[in-house]
Homo-oligomer: A and B are copies of this chain.
């Protein structure tokens, strides 16, 4: 089914839903899914609406022009997406394969409307796995000294491949603020803890030392502040005193891969709006 998706945020006021839904109805659009949210404290209105393009009176270009006339006076920040468009997603990895396997599964199964034109790693370990699926693999080792040049190379590769979204699937390097600025709210990371607990390095070691009874994983958009970006999804798993650090690492992987894949799904389906370093997820 070919559908259009509008993502909107703007100052809250009366009649916003009516205005948007009338626009769709007037051009013979049938709404498939609508969700709205108002942050009462902040006074901000959020909306996601998806409608069937079959029989819709406006072309893609005309939608942009026509909706701009509605959106501008209402100070709307808005984007329109089309469900049939194929997005392009790059994967960054290091040594751990669990998240990459789960991503490849969804990719092959056709769960996502996405192409994966490249995998970038600072290590050769997962080159074989990429080769098995015929995905170009770029090994770009990073040192403190070479980081600026390597990041320039990485960005060149992403630009060349026309990448819309970057997934850090347990990539064990910190991207520079300069890199992050190129892809605002387009870089999805998985952190192996229940943030804000245990940000930074060694979260399972620290979870073990603290004696927590649940371990977690957090998927978030990358910002200039390490592990401080807007959280997309989180989950946890029960552990106990019998679990060594190695057990936590092993058990945590299931949570990491599921949380990351769910976050990717929300992003690719245009279900995420970011504001004030938080996310609205229109499930």
Complex contacts, A155 vs chain B, CB 8 Å: none
Answer yes or no: A233 CB below 8 A from chain B CBs.
Answer: yes
Given contacts A105-B98, A241-B279, contact A25 B18 (CB under 8 A): yes
The proximity string for A residues 63-98 relative to B, scoring 1 for CB distances below 8 Å and 0 otherwise, is 000000000000000000000000000000000011
The proximity string for A residues 222-233 relative to B, scoring 1 for CB distances below 8 Å and 0 otherwise, is 000000001111
Answer yes or no: A181 CB below 8 A from chain B CBs.
Answer: no
Q: Which of A6-56 contact B (CB under 8 A)?
A: 12, 14-18, 21-22, 24-25, 28-41
**Chain B residue with Cβ nearest A208:** B278
Q: Which of A101-142 contact B (CB under 8 A)?
A: 101-102, 104-105, 108-109, 111, 129, 132-133
Given contacts A15-B25, A105-B97, A195-B212, contact A241 B281 (CB under 8 A): yes
Beta-carbon contact of B258 and A231 below 8 Å: no
Contact of A30 among B14, B28, B213, B254 (CB under 8 A): B14
Answer yes or no: A211 CB below 8 A from chain B CBs.
Answer: yes
For the complex, give the distance between the alpha carbons of A279 and B258 in Å.
28
A→B interface (CB under 8 Å)? 12, 14-18, 21-22, 24-25, 28-41, 97-98, 101-102, 104-105, 108-109, 111, 129, 132-133, 194-198, 210-214, 216, 230-236, 238, 240-242, 244, 250, 254, 258, 261, 276-281, 283
